[in-house]
Amino acid sequence: MGLVGGVTLTAVSPSAQVIAVQEPVMRVLVLEASALRLRADAEQPLLVAGLGSSEQRLRALSVRKQRGQLRLTLEGRSRRSLSLALQRELRVRSADPRGIWLGKRRYRGELRVRSVGAGLQVVNHLRVEDYLASVVGSEMPESWPLAALQAQAVAARTYALAQHGKAGGFDLKATVASQVYRGVESETANTLKAVESTHSLVLVHGGKLIDAVFHSSSGGATEASGAVWSKQLPYLVSVPDHDQHSPVHQWDVWFEPHQLRRAFRETGGVSSIDVLGTTGTGRIRQARVQGPRGDLLLSGKQLRQRLGLKSTLVRFEMLASKSAKPGAGVGFKRFEHSFGKRNSAGAGTVLMGSWRDGATGKSLFAPSVDANASFMGLTPPPPLPPLPVRSTRRSRHQPLMLLAMGQGFGHGVGMSQWGAHGLAQRGADFRQILNHYYRGAEIVPYRQLQNSSLAFLWRSRQPGGVESMGDA
């Protein structure tokens, strides 16, 4: 054992021809609050550092900010209070494999509490593979096909490691701002299997980790990164999606006049919304909102945020009431689904559903899922008619309601989670799913890219030591 550039190295069998290093530890911001309470799960105590010269064994710990200090309530053999300077950091761990309770959730690894601004931050330090077992279960239903869960594991691992070591007190947030992470409760046997069976695998392009972004459902076709953000990446291009069975493939939402006045205070409500520009897949780039008090120019993202829409792949109609039908050529369709049914043979979960025309109620198609279908050369189910670019109609009379009719959920870039589900149901494995959504990316074990002579290969949970490069 020795040090190279500050990294601890452990020699392994020469036949492996690799150098093993410690598994990367992620720093995940799990809570921002003015007060919090941590407690042990059962008999194993909390081990708390930062209260004095040595760790203290406690059953529970409460922390709040008060009068420029940290006010602590320590629950051990007795209950006592303590005040600390704001600059102190508390480090809480436990030998209990069930983790540490923070509010209504449990977390593995170590929780670090510190004062930031007017409140407190809790950052969870834990090994990347433990983190991923929860992320996969937080981002996808654990009942989904293994191939979809595996694809999510590789994408999430890639995204997480690309953020590793960022400046500041944490690498990732536990929300959709990064990746959803809900702690121990989101771990299941299926998510653990998905993570372990893809152990250390990541997506790279040009020798670097890719920006493995993903979203819920594209609405028929994913979007190129350059159409949504400032930079076009070679592996984030628009591709056909397989999300036609998604409950958010098409959707609609109504807005009352008072809701529109609240969302657009500058214009005093909405008389019309004019779409001024769209992306290649039809997502709104720019729109003009017109109201009694004037006009407002917004980007598609800003419009989505104002109205709380699922995506920017949307069109609008101003109508007198919910019973009124959209204008000619603007018929919309609704997806009716029943999730989690088993087929007659009891083999696997399938999605059963049908599209119904919103005006006639006519069933358009009822997709059946054949788990034995071949992925290569597979043609996705016929997409529904794309949303046309359409502006709302103006009214000179009574205030009208706004009907928003959209497709998909999320920014639309990268892997579609519902599309991954659809491909997995049709027989695709996780590599084929990832290759479909991240064009030209390679799937390899994670390497320390800054020094090609080293490989970040961490110890497997299975007996037998270090994985070899050939395991990929």
The maximal CA–CA distance of the chain, rounded, in angstroms, is 83
User: DSSP secondary-structure letter at 213?
Assistant: -
Please name the amino acid found at residue 99.
G
Q: Answer positive or negative: Cα dihedral of 419, 420, 421, 422.
A: positive
Q: Please state, in angstroms and rounded to a whole number, the distance separating the CA atoms of residues 346 and 368.
A: 15
The reported pLDDT for the residue numbered 42 is 81
- 10 Å CB burial of residue 60 (0-12, 13-18, 19+) is middle
Helix (H) or strand (E) holding 382: none
The reported pLDDT for the residue numbered 168 is 82
Q: How many C-beta atoms lie closer than 10 Å to residue 113's C-beta?
A: 23
Q: Please state, in angstroms and rounded to a whole number, the distance separating the CA atoms of residues 110 and 99.
A: 9
Vertex 152: Cα angle to 96 and 156 (nearest 5): 65
Q: Please state, in angstroms and rounded to a whole number, the distance separating the CA atoms of residues 222 and 396.
A: 39
Phi, psi of 420 (to 5 degrees): -60, -40
C-alpha distances out from residue 466 to 9, 195, 201, 289, Å = 13, 16, 14, 59
- As beta bridge partners, residue 259 has none
Q: How many C-beta atoms lie closer than 10 Å to residue 74's C-beta?
A: 18
The reported pLDDT for the residue numbered 397 is 57
* Beta strands at 100-102 and 119-127: parallel, antiparallel or unpaired: unpaired
Judge whether 271 and 292 are in contact, CB under 8 Å. yes
Q: How many C-beta atoms lie closer than 10 Å to residue 395's C-beta?
A: 14
- 10 Å CB burial of residue 152 (0-12, 13-18, 19+) is buried
Judge whether 163 and 178 are in contact, CB under 8 Å. yes
pLDDT in tens, the chain (472 residues): 444 334 333 333 333 333 345 789 999 999 999 999 999 988 899 999 999 888 999 999 999 998 888 999 999 888 999 999 888 899 999 999 899 999 999 999 999 999 998 899 999 999 999 999 999 999 999 999 999 999 999 999 999 999 998 878 999 999 999 999 999 999 999 999 999 999 999 999 999 999 999 999 999 999 999 999 989 999 999 999 999 999 999 999 999 999 999 999 999 999 999 999 999 999 999 999 999 999 999 999 999 999 999 999 999 999 987 777 665 444 333 333 333 333 333 333 333 333 333 333 333 333 333 333 333 444 544 444 445 545 555 555 567 899 999 999 999 999 999 999 999 999 999 999 999 999 999 999 986 554 443 345 454 444 333 332 233 3
Helix axes 146-163, 128-139, angle to 10 degrees: 130
- As beta bridge partners, residue 272 has 290
pTM value is 0.78
Say which residues have a Cβ less than 8 Å from residue 186's Cβ, sequence separation at least 6.
134, 135, 136, 137, 138
Q: Please state, in angstroms and rounded to a whole number, the distance separating the CA atoms of residues 88 and 363.
A: 63
Nearest to 433 by CA among 155, 134, 246, 73: 155
Say which residues have a Cβ less than 8 Å from residue 19's Cβ, sequence separation at least 6.
9, 10, 11, 12, 453, 454, 455
Judge whether 389 and 312 are in contact, CB under 8 Å. no
The reported pLDDT for the residue numbered 320 is 84
Judge whether 172 and 178 are in contact, CB under 8 Å. yes
The reported pLDDT for the residue numbered 331 is 39
Q: How many CA atoms lie within 13 A of 53 on its CB side?
A: 0
| Domain spans in the chain, listed from the N-terminal domain onward | 1-21+448-472, 25-144+167-186, 145-166+187-240+414-444, 251-376+385-406
